[in-house]
């Protein structure tokens, strides 16, 4: 037997102990203590009123006094009410147009502010100003511009067709609402697009320049594909916010002329003030369901592109 061979002693070494399952880490009680106040406030201020609203949507409650159950009558009337249908048509159409405008201008401004220009930091600060101003204040300022300043300018130039406020025209009042809403919403989209542009390596553009790519070719072949995820994020967030448009519309047109710029949110709040509490609660339930369905569709789009909010 070789001298280097191991010597067998007749006893086997003890087997290694079987691996034990790692015990799940216990959550510290302090986390629950910190979570409970927020959960209680959310339940009292959000979940509770929502459930109460769903309950009153099947009654004839006017906001005070007694009530009785009427089943789904509020919902049946809702789907045949021209005023309600008009508000949904305006809200969805306004949201789509504003989302397209905000994303187009936000991306173009982000590309410009990301370029090698002078006073870039100062310009970024200027473009972010609308984001910190109250919506109702912005609406009143633009109301004066649309109703007084612009008509006076066009009249002095001899353009009598534009000598009146577009906010007084049932066919064009929505344009003013879109302009003002987009003016306030563009900075938030601009921030997200700037973050996406800053994440693109500069070497990619330098390599494309060496290959002779024009600025437009760089934008379509490099910038757009690489910020596509940020476009989806801005679309989702913007559409959600524009569906709930209220303060800017109140300050600009107050839903007029007539009911041409009445949003769903305005219709619901106005109904609460005029005794249509249960009816508008049914409207709110339908609006909630539509918003959830739209959100689910958008989340499906996000998951398909591998984007996370």
Domain boundaries, the chain: 47-80, 86-279
Q: Phi first, then psi: what are they for 59, rounded to 5°?
A: -125, 180
Choose among 155, 178, 183, 152: nearest CA to 167.
178
- Interior CA angle at 281 toward 276 and 283, to 5°? 95
Q: Which CATH superfamily is domain 86-279 in?
A: MetI-like (1.10.3720.10)
SS3 state of residue 49: helix
* 8 Å CB contact between 79 and 287: no
Q: Per residue of the chain (309 residues), what is the pLDDT tens digit? A: 444 555 555 555 555 555 555 545 677 888 888 889 999 999 999 899 889 989 999 999 888 888 899 989 999 999 899 999 999 999 999 999 999 999 999 999 999 888 877 777 777 777 788 888 888 899 999 999 999 999 998 888 888 878 888 998 888 999 999 999 999 999 999 999 999 998 888 888 889 888 888 888 988 899 888 898 898 889 888 988 999 999 999 999 998 898 899 999 999 988 888 888 999 999 999 999 998 888 888 777 767 655 555
Rg of the Cα atoms in the chain: 29
Number of residues assigned to the chain: 309
Choose among 303, 272, 279: nearest CA to 79.
279
* 8 Å CB contact between 91 and 243: yes
| Helix, strand, coil percentages, rounded to 5, for the chain | 70, 0, 30
The pTM of this model reads 0.81
Name the CA dihedral angle for 167, 171, 134, 115, rounded to a multiple of 10 degrees: -110
Return d(Cα 115, Cα 224) in angstroms, integer.
15
């Amino acid at each position: 037997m070789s001298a280097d061979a191991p010597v067998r002693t007749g006893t086997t070494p003890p087997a290694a102990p079987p691996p034990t399952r790692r015990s799940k880490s216990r959550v510290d009680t302090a986390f629950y203590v910190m979570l409970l106040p927020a959960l209680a406030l959310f339940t009292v201020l959000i979940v509770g009123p929502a459930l109460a609203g769903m309950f009153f949507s099947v009654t004839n409650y006017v906001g005070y006094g007694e009530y009785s159950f009427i089943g789904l009558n509020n919902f049946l009337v809702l789907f045949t009410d021209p005023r309600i249908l008009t508000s949904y048509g305006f809200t969805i159409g306004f949201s789509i147009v504003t989302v397209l405008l905000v994303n187009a201008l936000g991306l173009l401004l982000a590309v410009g502010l990301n370029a090698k220009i002078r006073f870039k930091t100062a310009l970024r600060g200027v473009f972010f100003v609308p984001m910190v101003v109250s919506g109702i204040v912005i609406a009143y300022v633009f109301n004066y511009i649309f109703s007084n300043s612009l008509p006076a300018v066009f009249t002095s130039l001899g353009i009598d067709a534009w000598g009146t406020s577009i906010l007084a025209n049932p066919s064009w009042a929505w344009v003013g609402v879109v302009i003002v809403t987009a003016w306030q919403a563009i900075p938030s989209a601009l921030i997200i697009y700037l973050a996406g542009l800053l994440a693109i390596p500069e070497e990619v553009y330098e390599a494309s320049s060496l290959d002779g790519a024009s600025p437009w070719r760089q934008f379509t072949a490099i910038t757009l594909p690489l910020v596509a995820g940020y476009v989806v994020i801005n679309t989702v967030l913007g559409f959600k916010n524009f569906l709930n448009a209220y303060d800017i519309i109140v300050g600009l047109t107050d839903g007029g002329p007539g009911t041409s710029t009445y949003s769903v949110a305005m219709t619901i709040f106005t109904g609460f003030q005029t005794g249509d509490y249960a009816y508008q609660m049914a409207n709110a339930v339908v609006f909630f369901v539509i918003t959830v369905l739209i959100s689910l569709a958008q989340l499906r789009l996000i998951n398909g592109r591998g984007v996370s909010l």
